[in-house]
Structure 1
């Protein structure tokens, strides 16, 4: 057990770990972990003392308070409102006291995510990694969205969705952190050409039996995460996640019609995380269950 950023971090045995902090008033923390993203839902926090942040921290304020803080030799006294978003950079230390207990959602992001998100789209040298108010419509909405995805157990079988949400939040943060945000973002002229599109679609078909990440698909296209996702949707009329789901369902329909394989075997062959995941996606796309489809096709 170790203390980090005012939270007691316990190595999780599952995706969700809950703590009631003995000796720290009514402070309680629930940890959620999904595909490299960590989320902490914190209630009744009153401050931290020499909290070291090894990774970037995004804090979504849910209950207003005023804090007195010292961050890397800089003193702050600032009121935070419900809906405020605070960025604390990696490898820094913070001490602060609040005038009253407050609630927050904390998202921990690796620096590599910022590097990948900014690739060939942002002038990385213009990003000012410092503790600051990064409140905007995008950072709040995208932060709440990513936290909701990670905190909802039903989305744990959708790694591409978690990854896409984390990249979207990171880009919104980069725009706020850059002092020249209107000029730092560069127009990328390379498109998802016919050759690149064919290569990506072929890669999906060749690897459809396993989990495929947005990182892999962007690398195959030789484009950044954000640029690839945007160009793919423009060209295909759907997101990479939607296309992947449709291809898996088409493969499952063929196997349901032509084989006697069990639903578990078909779900594994088509790259679904589980039979329940298979059933949920299949019904969403076709309007019927796999069993009903097989019965009607015979």
Structure 2
């Protein structure tokens, strides 16, 4: 489902990446594609100045969130330009329908999410019942919610082997919904609260979640089976179960692991794989977080 590439800065074959950055200046260059979303981590440690320039296209919309302070960016529009300071949690929005030029000054560390035009259009209608008229955000303005989500996304991107596609997909929907609600040209006040899954859709969604392995869970596939959009499905699932799909699935896996710990002599690594975790370390960390004690200790107490 995901396609991730990480490029070493000294051996990057391409001169510029898909966002117009010079790849050979990047300390970190991560791109992860997931349907309507493309996730990026762009980090440069050197105090350099470089230019970014991309022509107009139909790619969609990009939101960038700064993970650190000290970056400056001169954004050029026609014959006018303006310098913007970026602190931690500072944000900028880039519409790919427009030409983009900017001079990047100093080091930076950004998490970015690119949304397809279809996702933005569908989410706008779903949230407000009207067409999106664009986005309004001063480059460099701070948004603590985006800042928090960016920190979580950065950790997920940095831990490729442990990243849950389901969790990352949910992050994309959450970031996109906040983008539309707070920076979009259409109001979100008309969203109707209290939407729940029907019993049929709840059962279907749970069965599909349990049937999937860690590597091929797709919210898009489950939402489509319920004849719902992905963002509507996530909110309706949470309204119905008081859990996100990812939280609910983790709890089910932990419950199954408790049964195996109590009733079988399987090793922790065998139980981890049987319950859908990537490895024993992932299983132990998740079990400890949700149960409050490591699985080995829990097994000894359960059998005593």
Report the TM-score, using the length of structure 1 for normalisation.
Answer: 0.74
How many aligned residue pairs are there?
A: 278
2:214 & 2:28 partners in 1: Cα distance?
34
Q: Which residue of 2 aligns with 1:97?
A: 103
Question: Which runs of structure 2 are paired with 1:49-64 in the superposition (5 Å)?
Answer: 49-52=52-55, 55=59, 56-61=61-66, 62-63=69-70
Q: CA RMSD in A?
A: 3.5
1:48 equivalent in alignment to 2:44: no
Once the two structures are superposed, the pairs formed by residues 280-295 of structure 1 within 5 Å of their partners are 280-295=285-300
* Corresponding residue number in structure 1 for 2:276: 271
| Worse-superposed segment, 200-209 or 168-177 | 200-209
User: Of the candidates 220, 235, 241, which is equivalent to residue 240 of structure 2?
Assistant: 235
Among 189, 196, 204, the alignment partner of 2:209 is: 204
Structure 1 SS opposite 2:276: coil
Match of 2:9 in 1: none
On the 8 A contact 2:153/2:171 being kept in 1, the answer is: no
Matching residue of 1:120? 126
Alignment gaps of 5+ in structure 2: 1-12
Taking the aligned partners of 1:150 and 1:171, their CA distance within structure 2 comes to 19
Per-residue deviation at 1:165?
A: 1.6
SS in 1 for 2:256: helix
Q: Which residue matches 1:39? A: 41
Structure 1 residues 279, 115: CA separation in 2 closer, same or farther (over 3 Å shift)? farther
CA distance in 2, matches of 1:187, 1:161: 25
More strand by share: 1
The answer as to 2:24 corresponding to 1:29 is: no
Aligned counterpart, 1:12? none
SS at match of 1:125: coil
Q: Which residue of 2 aligns with 1:255?
A: 260
- Kept in 1: contact 2:115–2:176 (CA 8 A): no
